[in-house]
Amino acid sequence: MLHENDDGVNPDEKNAASLEAEHPLTAEQLYMIDYQLYTPGSTMYNLFSVMKVDKELFDLEKLAGAMKTAIAAHPALCTAFGYNDDGELVQRYNPDSVPDIHVEKLTEFEFKFVKDTLVYPFKIIGGRLCRCRIFETEKAGYIFFDVHHSLFDGTSLKVFLGGVGKAYMGMPIENDYYYLMLKNREEAVHSDFYEESRKYFEDRYDHVEWSSYPVIDHESRDNEMGELFAPLGIEQPQMNAMERAYKISRNEFFITVAALAVSVYNNKNDIKLSWIYNGREDVQMMSSVGLLFRDLPVGIRFRDTDTLRDVFADVHDQVQKGIEHSCYPYVDLHNQVAKGESAYLLYQQDIRDMGSLEGFDIEPIEVRQNQAASQTILDMEILDGAEAFLLIQPGTDPADRPWKITELYNELLFRLPAIRQGEAHADHGNPVYMYYWRYPSSLPDLLACHAVELAYVFNNLDETVYTGEGINRKLVEEVQQMWVNFALTGNPSTEEHP
């Protein structure tokens, strides 16, 4: 149940009114469009993926209907850009733009050629900015999804796939407040706090000759995309110790490390980089799809008298205050495409939140990105793995990450059916308890996979096929006590875990 806003208007009513109006593009969207125009006709902002699924496990026609329902439930995916009477670029909600998704049948041989024609540039002005197709061959099903980045961010993917899973299971999808967000951001521009935030950023970052990306040793007007992968040599125990010792987050740690690297490479003391804050500041936005993130700056003026603790404390302060004042889009208003921009540091924390796909015919399919181009001068992307960390640079298309497939797999086959069954029991007056297992296996790649908890529940500690040798003895006792309590009393609670 959503409460009234500060202006006394119910959010659902305000959202409905916002859907009827046209809205200017946000600063983040305008910056993307400017960058797109730097390399027109490119697919630099296409966020695409192709998933191969077991057609014996998934009803493809039902899945097509679920995809269509999920797209219709998220107004950003039914949005078109155009010009108003004053020649300003605006966005409008068009519920009639939901694509008609049906299962297309072809042979594996035909699909081999079709898949490399799927990714092509969107028509930015007046065109549909979301595509979805489902194919069935004699061997498998294939799901293709592509959306323009100006209407979709990384968190949107989880929200959208969750909606697909719910629609597939016949469950309702939460309300989406993308257009309410647009309205709120428009109103925020006229607030005193917006002006205070503008002053904070300009006082802190203007009037300094910042070095914002590694010195360029070759210049060209051509815009091509490439990437390098490099293990950082930092393991999880080391990272945990660093967090405890310096009281900083991993995001803040890697921002500092990236700035130090640029400082050493450029032989400059004043370094400014950008980082991504997801921008979802209230419960309404957690179920919304759209470009909601904020680009925020961090500027470090390295001095010989500073200790590492001083630098970490400064970065922590900037990150926190940047989030506090994120209503003012400093980076997007002050950066200039290709020349006056900053390198980005993107820490991908959720890369560890993966299950195992072993035994299920669900896998990402590599397809050609036609007319590819880079969308930043440099992205430094940190992937947080189960054991260590990996750097990707420049920007890697997030649509290629395997956790997308895992998210859909988890939603459809495990989490949502379990929740639905629990709700059905609760609807009949029965107490229902659910657990969420996060303690990982010590074996490579398994993490907190399906069935890893069984050895803990049944005290089969010599059965290490899922757990590995890294058994947590204290957790064994706690889990078994909970199961015994549930068998004896119907309530698994303990003194330590009420």
| Range in 264-278, 294-308, 324-338 with the lowest mean pLDDT | 324-338
Percent of the chain with pLDDT over 70: 88
Instruction: Provide mean pLDDT across the span 128-147.
Output: 96
Q: How many residues does the chain have?
A: 498
Confidence of residue 246 (pLDDT cuts 50, 70, 90): confident
| Position with higher pLDDT, 372 vs 5 | 372
pTM of the model: 0.75
Dihedral angle, C-alpha 54, 58, 64, 70, nearest 10 °: -110
Judge contact between 34 and 28, C-beta under 8 A: no
Q: Output the pLDDT for position 402.
A: 42
Cα distances (angstroms) measured from residue 392 to each of 123, 231, 365, 384, 436: 29, 9, 20, 11, 31
Instruction: Provide mean pLDDT across the span 224-232.
Output: 73
Judge contact between 18 and 346, C-beta under 8 A: no
Judge contact between 23 and 182, C-beta under 8 A: yes
Judge contact between 289 and 178, C-beta under 8 A: yes
- Share the mean pLDDT of the chain: 85
Q: Output the pLDDT for position 414.
A: 66
Cα 441 to Cα 242: distance, rounded to the nearest angstrom: 23
DSSP letter at 56 equals T
Burial class, 336, CB count within 10 angstroms (exposed 0-12 / middle 13-18 / buried 19+): exposed
Token pair in block for residue 363: 């896998």
| Range in 146-150, 290-294, 420-424 with the lowest mean pLDDT | 420-424
- Beta-carbon count within 10 A of 423 CB: 11
DSSP letter at 228 equals E
Chain CA centroid to CA 449, Å: 21
Q: Output the pLDDT for position 397.
A: 40
pLDDT in tens, 43-66: 999 999 999 999 988 999 999 999
Cα 278 to Cα 287: distance, rounded to the nearest angstrom: 13
pLDDT in tens, 85-99: 999 999 999 999 999
Confidence of residue 201 (pLDDT cuts 50, 70, 90): very high
Judge contact between 185 and 169, C-beta under 8 A: no
- Most distant CA atoms of the chain, gap in Å: 73
Judge contact between 375 and 369, C-beta under 8 A: no
- Beta-carbon count within 10 A of 462 CB: 8
Confidence of residue 2 (pLDDT cuts 50, 70, 90): very low
Confidence of residue 345 (pLDDT cuts 50, 70, 90): confident
Q: Output the pLDDT for position 399.
A: 40
Q: Output the pLDDT for position 463.
A: 78
| Range in 141-150, 327-336, 402-411 with the lowest mean pLDDT | 402-411
pLDDT in tens, 23-48: 999 999 999 998 888 888 899 999 99
Q: Output the pLDDT for position 496.
A: 81
Confidence of residue 444 (pLDDT cuts 50, 70, 90): low
Confidence of residue 351 (pLDDT cuts 50, 70, 90): very low
Cα 446 to Cα 321: distance, rounded to the nearest angstrom: 38
What sign does the dihedral 274-275-278-279 (CA atoms) show? negative
Cα 491 to Cα 31: distance, rounded to the nearest angstrom: 54
359 has a pLDDT exceeding 50:
no
335 has a pLDDT exceeding 50:
yes
Dihedral angle, C-alpha 438, 441, 444, 450, nearest 10 °: -70
356 has a pLDDT exceeding 60:
no
* Nearest C-alpha neighbor of 318 from the set 268, 277, 377, 269: 277
Cα 97 to Cα 130: distance, rounded to the nearest angstrom: 9
Confidence of residue 373 (pLDDT cuts 50, 70, 90): confident
Confidence of residue 472 (pLDDT cuts 50, 70, 90): confident
Dihedral angle, C-alpha 257, 260, 262, 265, nearest 10 °: -120
* Nearest C-alpha neighbor of 175 from the set 367, 2, 405: 2
Confidence of residue 398 (pLDDT cuts 50, 70, 90): very low
Please state the domain extents for the chain.
433-498
Cα 214 to Cα 226: distance, rounded to the nearest angstrom: 16
| Position with higher pLDDT, 94 vs 305 | 94
Cα 195 to Cα 142: distance, rounded to the nearest angstrom: 49
DSSP letter at 82 equals E
305 has a pLDDT exceeding 90:
no
| Range in 336-345, 372-381, 408-417 with the lowest mean pLDDT | 408-417
Neighbouring residues of 221: CB distance < 8 A, sequence distance ≥ 6: none
Instruction: Provide mean pLDDT across the span 430-440.
Output: 86
pLDDT in tens, 160-172: 988 998 999 999 9
Percent of the chain with pLDDT over 90: 49
